[in-house]
Amino acid sequence: MGSAAALGPYRRFESCEKKICLTFDDGPDKRNTPEILDVLSEYGVKATFFVIGSNAEGNLPLLRRELEEGHEIGNHTYSHPHLKGITEEALRGEILKTENILFRLEEYRPRLFRPPEGVYSGTVAKTLEELDYLPILWTVDTQDWRHLSAQKIADTVLRNTKPGSIILCHDYISGKGHTAEALKIFLPELKKQGYTFVTVSEMIPPDPANGE
């Protein structure tokens, strides 16, 4: 494999078509994730879930459902540590522990990594390159974890989304979130505007080092 991390981090994609990526962090969660999956399925939208290993452990059926319904799963560490000042060894442990859970699940090997809170340092870059992961950040931050109203979340998305945008939402929020409700507002509107939703991997340009 080439130096994959040299291609990132991705904050947005170049897209001359109206393609965008919807992403969900911090799950899976027994309450929010099924609700969100139901709405995505209702609108025929594919998304990318950046899961936390410690949440994945007790929720394998939800991960399986995500894969079966055509979504992509990425790695969001095992315990969601703040990455500023983390050692390479500790970060490698965080990533591999989650990778092993996903592999036990269905021999699924994620290639995408989203750093908690978007912290992207030299240590993170080097570790991801060694483990052959691509770092994925975001364009549009919905701040849905702040318990904003569904309308407010939807307004942020509708105001800021452009072709190639990566939209950040959460499928685990402490307490009751409004993300699933917000999807019911902004998904039909973006579809009406001609946007299509693809997984993050579908947007990544081929790596010339791999001769693709």
- Contacting residues toward Zn ion, per CB under 5 A: 25-26, 116
Encoded tokens for 10: 């991705």
CA dihedral sign of residues 54, 145, 138, 165: positive
- We find the least distance from the C-beta atom of residue 26 to Zn ion, in angstroms, to be 4
Nearer to Zn ion (CB atom), residue 25 or residue 129: 25
CA atoms within 13 A on the CB side of 84: 3
Percent helix, strand and coil across the chain, each to the nearest 5: 45, 15, 40
Task: State the Cα–Cα distance between residues 180 and 212, nearest whole angstrom.
Answer: 37
- We find the least distance from the C-beta atom of residue 135 to Zn ion, in angstroms, to be 14
Task: State the Cα–Cα distance between residues 50 and 29, nearest whole angstrom.
Answer: 12
Residue with the CB atom nearest Zn ion in the bound state: 25
Residues β-bridged to residue 136: 10
Nearer to Zn ion (CB atom), residue 26 or residue 72: 26
Residue pair 128/113 in contact (Cβ under 8 Å)? The answer is: yes
- We find the least distance from the C-beta atom of residue 174 to Zn ion, in angstroms, to be 12
Nearer to Zn ion (CB atom), residue 25 or residue 29: 25
Say which residue the tokens 């507002």 belong to: 185
Active site residues: 25, 170
Vertex 83 angle, CA 49 and 113, to 5°: 30
Nearer to Zn ion (CB atom), residue 8 or residue 115: 115
- We find the least distance from the C-beta atom of residue 24 to Zn ion, in angstroms, to be 10
